[in-house]
Amino acid sequence: MTIRFNPELDTAALAAELAGRRRVQIRDVLVPDDAKHIYDVLARRTPWWLAYNDGDAVAQVSPEQLAALNPADLGRILMGISERARTQYQFVYSYFPVISSYFAQPRPDVAIFEVFEFLNSPATLEYFRKLTGQGDIQWVDAQPTLYRPGDFLKSHSDLDDAKVRVAAYVLNFTPAWERDWGGYLQFFNESHDIVEALTPRFNAMNVFMVPTDHSVGIVAPFANGPRLSVTGWFRRDPPPGKIGG
């Protein structure tokens, strides 16, 4: 399926807002039918892994490994996450490893790859260069994410040592989300006040320059449904291999 930007987007106005505020939310970013298609891919055709960190180490637990965990082992993992979150940077959510899977040999047949290829098509990359004013963007990495009740991503800036990340993005595909369910994309000032918090609005793309202090607030235990998105960075380093074609 071809994925298309909404032809009514005012790119110049969006670029001006991003330049002035260092962040912008682009509502109705895709053609509606294309956004619904991506939602279907995420909700019904994506195998979800568990991701969390233990200090600098990132655990990536496959669906098969998750199924093999007994309740006591899973409980110990979740308890460790809660304990570390009291004093350290911590995250926990579900995801699919797009980059390592896409460049694997043989490549698995996974529907979410079409979104990765759309994000890295020549026309899309040129759009992101115009949006950010950064002509050195070479590719876009991506991971689909699913936040369930209790999942969160503590505050961080996305700044990397090599400084290859130009801007971060979050493409939202949650059909309905109530304001009391948490899971907001939150932006902070120097005093650690929340200066803006964005609901995971369906078919909205949040873009913000790196570094920017932000977090994903914890999803409430009573949230009725998963928070679905595709996230990543616009990057100025070479991609790890050929994309598309």
Structure confidence at residue 140 (pLDDT): 98
Structure confidence at residue 1 (pLDDT): 73
Distance of CA 31 to the CA centre of its chain: 20
> At CA 92, angle to CA 78 and CA 183, rounded to 5?
120
Q: Classify domain 11-48+96-235 at the CATH topology level.
A: Jelly Rolls (2.60.120)
Structure confidence at residue 198 (pLDDT): 98
Structure confidence at residue 245 (pLDDT): 73
Structure confidence at residue 30 (pLDDT): 98
**Predicted model pTM:** 0.96
Instruction: Write down the domain spans for the chain.
Output: 11-48+96-235
3-state secondary structure of 95: strand
Q: How many CB atoms lie within 10 A of CB 29?
A: 20
Q: Which residues of the chain have pLDDT under 70?
A: none
Integer Cα distance of 230 and 141 in angstroms:
10
Distance of CA 213 to the CA centre of its chain: 15
Closest CA to 208 of 142, 159, 135: 159
In one letter, which amino acid is 199?
T
